C-alpha cells in the first residue's frame, strides 16, 4: 500500500510539474489573439484564440473574437453556429451577440431565420432601447426580402454575382472579400460561374487559400473538368471529380498517428496544436499532396514547431531519437512548414 501511495504522489507531482510549464498560457494566447484581431490578421488571431479556448470555454472575449475571425474569413456557417452557442449559453452581452448573429444570417441570405429570431425576441418585450430600432429595421429588411422585392431582385442576381465575382477575383485583390463571395456561392448553381473561377487557379499571384476554397467548391459540386492549378511555383492538372479530401489521405493519417503516439498522453494541448497546424498546412497545399515524403519527418517538425509556439524548448537530439530522423532533414522540413504557415496569415 505504501509503495502505491508513493507512486500516486509521484504521478501527481509530475502532473503539477507539467502545469507549471505553462504559466498564464491562456492569457498569453488570448492577448496574442486579440492583438492579431485588432491588426486584421484574422487567420492568425483564430489560431491563438482557438488554443486559448481549450483552456477556458465560455470566456466572452475569446468566443466573440473567434466569431469575428470566422465572419471576416468568410466562414459564415461556422460563425453562425458559434454565435448560436453563445446565445444559448448566455455568453457575453446577449443583445450584442444577437445583433452579430442576425448580421451573419443576412450575409447568408437566411431571411426566414432572421424574421423568426427577431420576432421571437421582440415578443418577449425585453429588448433594451439601444437595440430595439436596429433589430426592428433588420426585421423589416427580412420581410421585404421574403416578399416581392426578393423575387424582383432574383432576376438580376446572377448578373450581379458575376460582376461582384469578376471585381473581387480579378480587380480588387482583397483576400477576405474573395473568400466571402466564393463562400456565398455555396447555395447557387456553381456551373454558371466556372468561367470566372477556373482561370483564377492558374494565376501565380493569387492567394493559395483562396484557390483551395474554390477547388473545394468545385469538388462539392462534382464539377467534371480538367483544370490547371498553380501553387508555390508548381503547376498541376486536376479534375475536381477525382480529388480526395487531404485530411483523409493515408499520409495525413500516418503523420497524425505518429504525433498522437508521442503527444496525446504526454501533452494533449501540444498535440491539438500540431494537428491544427498540420491540417492547415495541407489546406494551403491542396490539391498538391505530400505522399512521397517521410511521415516521421513531418511529425517531428510539427512537434518542434508547435513546441516553439507554446514557448517550450526541445533538444533537437531528443526529436532525432524519438522520431528516428536526421537533424539536417528536420530543419529543412521545419522551414517548409514555416513557409506554408506564412500563407495562413491573410493580410
Map grid coordinates 450581379 to a residue: 160
Residue 301 pLDDT class (50, 70, 90 cuts) = very high
Pair 125, 162 in one domain: no
Report yes or no on 14 lying in a domain: no
Q: Among 176, 211, 242, identify where a domain stops.
A: 242
* pLDDT > 50? residue 340: yes
* Average pLDDT score over residue span 250-272: 90
Report yes or no on 46 lying in a domain: yes
Map grid coordinates 517550450 to a residue: 312
How far apart CA 304 and CA 309 sit, in angstroms, is: 9
Q: Average pLDDT, whole number, for the chain?
A: 84
How far apart CA 308 and CA 42 sit, in angstroms, is: 21
**Higher-scoring residue by pLDDT: 17, 105:** 105
Q: How many residues does the chain have?
A: 347
State the pLDDT at residue 16: 42
What is the per-residue DSSP string for 191-210?
Answer: GGGHHHHHHHTT-TTS-HHH
* Average pLDDT score over residue span 194-199: 94
- The pLDDT tens digits of the residues spanning 22-43 come to 557 878 888 898 998 888 888 9
Grid coordinates belonging to 107 = 450575409
Report yes or no on 314 lying in a domain: yes
Contact 320, 330 (CB under 8 A): yes
Pair 41, 116 in one domain: yes
* Average pLDDT score over residue span 41-69: 89
Pair 196, 92 in one domain: no
Residue 310 pLDDT class (50, 70, 90 cuts) = confident
* pLDDT > 60? residue 148: no
- The pLDDT tens digits of the residues spanning 158-170 come to 788 888 889 989 9
Report yes or no on 138 lying in a domain: yes
* Average pLDDT score over residue span 263-271: 88
Contact 281, 317 (CB under 8 A): no
* pLDDT > 60? residue 14: no
**Higher-scoring residue by pLDDT: 125, 286:** 286
* Average pLDDT score over residue span 124-141: 83
Pair 165, 213 in one domain: yes
* pLDDT > 60? residue 246: yes
Whose CA is closest to 165, among 185, 150, 151?
185
The CATH number of whichever domain residue 127 belongs to comes to: 1.25.40.10
Q: Which DSSP letter does residue 223 get?
A: -
* Average pLDDT score over residue span 247-252: 87
- The pLDDT tens digits of the residues spanning 78-108 come to 999 999 999 999 888 899 999 899 989 988 8
What is the per-residue DSSP string for 20-68?
Answer: HTSTTHHHHHHHHHHHHHHTT-HHHHHHHHHHHHHH-TT-HHHHHHHHH
Map grid coordinates 483564377 to a residue: 200
Q: Among 217, 242, 267, identify where a domain stops.
A: 242
State the pLDDT at residue 161: 84
3-state secondary structure of 155: helix
Burial of 239 (0-12, 13-18, 19+ CB in 10 A): middle
* pLDDT > 80? residue 135: yes
- Domains identified in the chain, total number: 3
State the pLDDT at residue 153: 57
Domain assignment of residue 47, given as a range: 22-148
Grid coordinates belonging to 105 = 444570417
Report yes or no on 16 lying in a domain: no
Pair 132, 66 in one domain: yes
State the pLDDT at residue 154: 54
Burial of 129 (0-12, 13-18, 19+ CB in 10 A): exposed
Q: Among 225, 242, 259, identify where a domain stops.
A: 242
The CATH number of whichever domain residue 292 belongs to comes to: 1.10.472.10
Amino acid at each position: 500500500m505504501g509503495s502505491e501511495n508513493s507512486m500516486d504522489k509521484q504521478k501527481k507531482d509530475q502532473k503539477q510539474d507539467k502545469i507549471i510549464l505553462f504559466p498564464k498560457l491562456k492569457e498569453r494566447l488570448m492577448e496574442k489573439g486579440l492583438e492579431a484581431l485588432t491588426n486584421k490578421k484574422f487567420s492568425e488571431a483564430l489560431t491563438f484564440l482557438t488554443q486559448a479556448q481549450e483552456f477556458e470555454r465560455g470566456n466572452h472575449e475569446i468566443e466573440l473574437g473567434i466569431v469575428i475571425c470566422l465572419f471576416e474569413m468568410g466562414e459564415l456557417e461556422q460563425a453562425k453556429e458559434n454565435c448560436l452557442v453563445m446565445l444559448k449559453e448566455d455568453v457575453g452581452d446577449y443583445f450584442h451577440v444577437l445583433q452579430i448573429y442576425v448580421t451573419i444570417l443576412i450575409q447568408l441570405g437566411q431571411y426566414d431565420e432572421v424574421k423568426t429570431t427577431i420576432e421571437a425576441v421582440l415578443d418577449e418585450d425585453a429588448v433594451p432601447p439601444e437595440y430595439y430600432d436596429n433589430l426592428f429595421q433588420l426585421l423589416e429588411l427580412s420581410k421585404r426580402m421574403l416578399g416581392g422585392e426578393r423575387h424582383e431582385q432574383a432576376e438580376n442576381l446572377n448578373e450581379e454575382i458575376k460582376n461582384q465575382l469578376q471585381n473581387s477575383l480579378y480587380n480588387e485583390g482583397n483576400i477576405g472579400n474573395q473568400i466571402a463571395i466564393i463562400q456565398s456561392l455555396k447555395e447557387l448553381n456553381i456551373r454558371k460561374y466556372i468561367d470566372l473561377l477556373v482561370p483564377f487557379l492558374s494565376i501565380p499571384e493569387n492567394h493559395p487559400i483562396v484557390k483551395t476554397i474554390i477547388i473545394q467548391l468545385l469538388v462539392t459540386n462534382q464539377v467534371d473538368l480538367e483544370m490547371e492549378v498553380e501553387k508555390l511555383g508548381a503547376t498541376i492538372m486536376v479534375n475536381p471529380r477525382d480529388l480526395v479530401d487531404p485530411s483523409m489521405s493515408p499520409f495525413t493519417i500516418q503523420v497524425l498517428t505518429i504525433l498522437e503516439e508521442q503527444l496525446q498522453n504526454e501533452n494533449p494541448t501540444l498535440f491539438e496544436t500540431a494537428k491544427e497546424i498540420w491540417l492547415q498546412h495541407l489546406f494551403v497545399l491542396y490539391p498538391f499532396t505530400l505522399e512521397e515524403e517521410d511521415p516521421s519527418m513531418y511529425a517531428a517538425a510539427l512537434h518542434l514547431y508547435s513546441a516553439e509556439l507554446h514557448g517550450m524548448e526541445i533538444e533537437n537530439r531528443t526529436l532525432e531519437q524519438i522520431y528516428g530522423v536526421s537533424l539536417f532533414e528536420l530543419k529543412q522540413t521545419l522551414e517548409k512548414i514555416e513557409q506554408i504557415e506564412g500563407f495562413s496569415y491573410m493580410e
